[in-house]
Amino acid sequence: MSISASSLPTAPSVAAREHAPGLFVRGLGAPLRLSDYRLVAFDMDSTLINIECIDEIAAAAGRRDEVAAITEAAMRGEITDFKDSLRRRVALLAGVPESALEAVYTERLRLNPGVEAFVQACQAAGLKTLLVSGGFTYFSERVRQRLGLDFARANTLGVYNGRLTGTVQDRPWGDIVDGAEKRRVLLEVCELMGIDSRQAIAVGDGANDLPMMGAAGLSIAYHAKPAVRGQAMISIEDGGMDRALEVFGA
């Protein structure tokens, strides 16, 4: 029998305990059931997939180290304005041929271990699936199709004459998916589904995932930065994403 939204776990305020080697939980009591939730939202880069796409694109421009340093600082929360950090990184990509994106996808991008098993378990339990990323639609749409996800939102790179312009395109909802937009999208999808946000799960690894993780009823950190591990209700620090299933009962 499903539990009500009011009885789902709320944001934790207690210390984490080791549920199993490399798997930590915080603020959870009785075994959870996936079927008690209705939506799961995923970050993409370094969460669903093994790379930060912008860093790999930057390698084609000979600027990988420069861009990666900004990426790391943003994910650790040292750069608090994600939109500014993304614009700075994207500007360094100006002139990169669009073909470099395809090379990144085919040669570098892989799903992280356990992702397919965890997504399939969520789908089998009846959850809708959402990808919401500060990365780029070139990759997010392919990942969405590959995993059979229901919804996706990400940023769109500007392209002219087959080369990146170093800009992010405006969209009807705005220009850049940052932490606030991730939270807003999660809440918007919950409203469209007619569910309480406590019936949502959010999975991420970086500081810009914390707003949506805080809005969800259950937050899962996957090989995350310390600031994220320190707040998540489930933290996977060793093994694949499917290790989250160890916390769920039948």
Q: Which residues carry out catalysis?
A: 43, 45
| Separation of alpha carbons 46 and 85, rounded Å | 17
| Separation of alpha carbons 107 and 123, rounded Å | 28
| Separation of alpha carbons 218 and 197, rounded Å | 9
Angle at the Cα of 41 from the Cα atoms of 36 and 43, rounded to 5 degrees: 145
Beta strands at 163-168 and 200-204: parallel, antiparallel or unpaired: unpaired
18: three-class secondary structure by DSSP:
strand
196: three-class secondary structure by DSSP:
coil
Beta strands at 218-222 and 200-204: parallel, antiparallel or unpaired: parallel
Compute φ and ψ for 122, nearest 5 degrees: -65, -45
Instruction: Report CA dihedral (137, 139, 141, 145) to the nearest 10 degrees.
Output: -170
Handedness of CA 129, 131, 137, 143 (dihedral sign): negative
